């Protein structure tokens, strides 16, 4: 009976406080969700990048939940000051154990606020390249040309040389033609194709000119600009159109040949 009496006494003494604390936590959870949605709607009206909005909304939710948890603990009689001190000591140990994770977080914050690249831009770094599809606190996700995803820890990005193509890319083609070709005619046909192609940007203006002189061929460089998403398609389409136009206009492509010397012994 002593055990039952003791449990009954504790239930009477602390039951109401525990119920109030649980109610506070539940109310705090609802409040954090509501304030997070309110902050999301308010921030959508501002000119902020999606990762920045996501970070600020998460901070609002975390602050509300921490504040609620502290009030709930104080309600059940837990002293807050020693708890905060203990959390600080534990935080040091956790920080040492999670150095890689924390460095990703700090690098992610640096990327989000310094904006070396944005979602939708094409970047190249660390031997990989792709379109930026997600910038998170821990990682940056690229969409490769083969539709695979490249996930890079943010700490690997900060401090590295990064090539940001933006939202447009320059296509670089070299078309060989015969030495007997009328170069002015060939360049005129190439420029006409570039002018008519719907995916080739008019600004910056596409370039075309002679890039190399060989023993049996002349290289014509074709350098138009296109949107990042059209880069791969434009390469194949331009090669096909130029080949068909050259054949229709009688512009010769170089054919391999070998010179054979016969020595009479």
Q: In the structure, what pLDDT confidence band is assigned to residue 111 with cuts at 50, 70 and 90?
A: confident
Higher-pLDDT residue of 110 and 5 is 110
pTM of the model: 0.59
Between 265 and 31, the higher pLDDT residue = 31
Distance CA 106, CA 85 (A): 24
What's the confidence (pLDDT) of residue 259? Answer: 62
For residue 80, is it left (φ>0), alpha (ψ between -120 and 50) or beta? alpha
- Where b means 16+ CB within 10 Å and e means fewer, 228-240 reads bebbeebbebbee
Assign 257 a pLDDT band (cuts: 50, 70, 90): low
Predicted local distance difference test score (pLDDT) of residue 112: 79
User: Is pLDDT above 70 for 242?
Assistant: yes
| Confidence at residue 109, expressed as pLDDT on a 0 to 100 scale | 81
The model's pLDDT over 37-92, given as tens digits with 9 standing for 90+, comes to: 887 787 777 666 676 677 777 878 888 888 887 777 777 666 766 666 666 666 55
User: Cα(56)–Cα(73) distance, rounded to whole angstroms?
Assistant: 26
- Enumerate domains of the chain plus CATH numbers: 2-97 (1.10.287.1260), 114-166 (2.30.30.60), 168-249 (3.30.70.100)
């Amino acid at each position: 009976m002593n055990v039952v009496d003791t449990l009954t006494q504790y239930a009477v003494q602390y039951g109401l406080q525990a119920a109030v604390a649980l109610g506070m936590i539940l109310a705090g959870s609802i409040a954090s969700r509501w304030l997070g949605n309110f902050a999301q709607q308010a921030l959508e009206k501002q000119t902020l990048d999606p990762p920045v909005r996501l970070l600020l909304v998460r901070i609002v939710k975390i602050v509300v939940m921490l504040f609620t948890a502290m009030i709930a603990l104080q309600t059940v009689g837990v002293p807050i000051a020693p708890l905060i001190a203990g959390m600080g000591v534990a935080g040091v140990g956790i920080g040492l154990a999670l150095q890689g994770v924390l460095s990703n977080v700090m690098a992610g914050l640096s990327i989000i606020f310094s904006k070396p690249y944005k979602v939708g831009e094409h970047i190249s770094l660390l031997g990989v390249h792709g379109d930026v599809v997600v910038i998170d606190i821990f990682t940056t996700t690229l969409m490769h040309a083969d539709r695979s995803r490249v996930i890079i820890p943010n700490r690997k990005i900060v401090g590295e040389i990064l090539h940001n193509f933006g939202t447009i890319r320059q296509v670089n083609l070299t078309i060989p033609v015969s030495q007997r070709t009328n170069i002015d005619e060939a360049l005129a046909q190439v420029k006409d194709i570039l002018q008519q192609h719907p995916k080739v940007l008019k600004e910056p203006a596409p370039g075309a000119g002679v890039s190399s002189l060989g023993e049996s061929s002349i290289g014509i460089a074709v350098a138009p600009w296109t949107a990042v998403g059209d880069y791969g398609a434009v390469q194949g389409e331009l090669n096909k159109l130029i080949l068909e136009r050259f054949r229709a206009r009688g512009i010769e492509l170089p054919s391999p040949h070998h010179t054979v010397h016969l020595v009479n012994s």
